[in-house]
Structure 1
Amino acid sequence: MGKLVYAANVSLDGYVEDEDGSFGWSEPDEQVHAFWNEHERGIGTSLYGRRMYEAMRVWEDDDWLADEPPVVREYAQIWRDADKVVYSTTLQDVSTARTRIERQLDPDAVRRLKEESGSDLSVGGATLGAEAFRHGLVDECVLLLHPVTVGGGKPALPRGVRLDLELLEHRRFASGVVHVRYGVRRAT
């Protein structure tokens, strides 16, 4: 059975995007990129909202990768090897392999995906992540806290949802980025 992991780059004040929708402040250096590669290697299926999918589908295209460092090219292959589910009411078709569209997040269908999966699943994007948290679907949070405050924008974690978390792992990178991995404690 796979776990559903919410993973995100986060400003120190808790945002995945600033007020203008920018997240350039979270561009990874080689060490952080290698961390994300290792993390994504364990993911069999990625769940995306439309906006996150549109940002991520660049990894399907080889044209821009030729002059990129090996760690970046490696990520592209890892991303391509995973299955992808895009939740969107407006997207008509997808332009990447191993990708399908669902019109809405069905909590029971996600639970079945987790039960049937031999690897972990990830949920990408703060909006879809918030919905997954509200339905009690998320098992772990992997957050990379960047040494920057952006003053507002899109919150990384859902408002109005209480989560009791258990620290499972942490690490500091040379760039000052801090990785924390938390397990979501279930009410008993």
Structure 2
Amino acid sequence: MTVHPFIEAEKRAGHSVKRACELLKVSRTAFYARRSGKPGPRAVQDAELTWQIAAVHERSRGTYGAPRVHAVLKQEGADCGRRRVARLIRAAGLEGRHRRRRHVTTIPDPRAALRPDLVVRNFAPDATGLDTRWCGDITYIPTDEGWLYLATVIDIASRRVVGWATADHLRTDLVADALPSACQQRRHGCGLILERPVNSGL
């Protein structure tokens, strides 16, 4: 809220503008600049700084946010605070790019029993080995309603997804639902090997 209308009322009442500005801790220059419709010194400085901010932002290909823009401006000798830079960046509608925080999907269980590696880490395609080696994987998809988790069963020989299931959680049920889906889609023999998702703890 600006106090300039109050000072204007005091001026019309014959009171001292200087005294009113001192009491309200407002710049007399800014008051008269606003009254005349001309931008004050601070507004002029903000406009010039905004131009510098936009130039730095463009040079960074739109990746820099307030902290990096402020650091570059300080290196170039600009006299400005970080909060002021952040305010002007918001006012100009500029925004830096942020790395999406890594979402942890599976947590290894240190107490889980070790299982023998029956595929011997051999994930090479093999046209003659269809439906003999399957592996599972879990991924996550960001949606407007939150995270959607996807469990897949992949035929190692063909690299094709042979079964899948989705859920809004990462419980064992998600992986368990993907396996029957694969069994319905493909015919497999009794020697089928299913490699569990790496580091899943399942």
TM-score by length of 1: 0.22
Higher relative contact order (CA 8 A, sep 6+): 1
Normalised to the residue count of structure 2, the TM-score between the two structures is 0.21
User: Which has more radius of gyration?
Assistant: 2
**Higher normalized helix content (fraction of residues):** 2
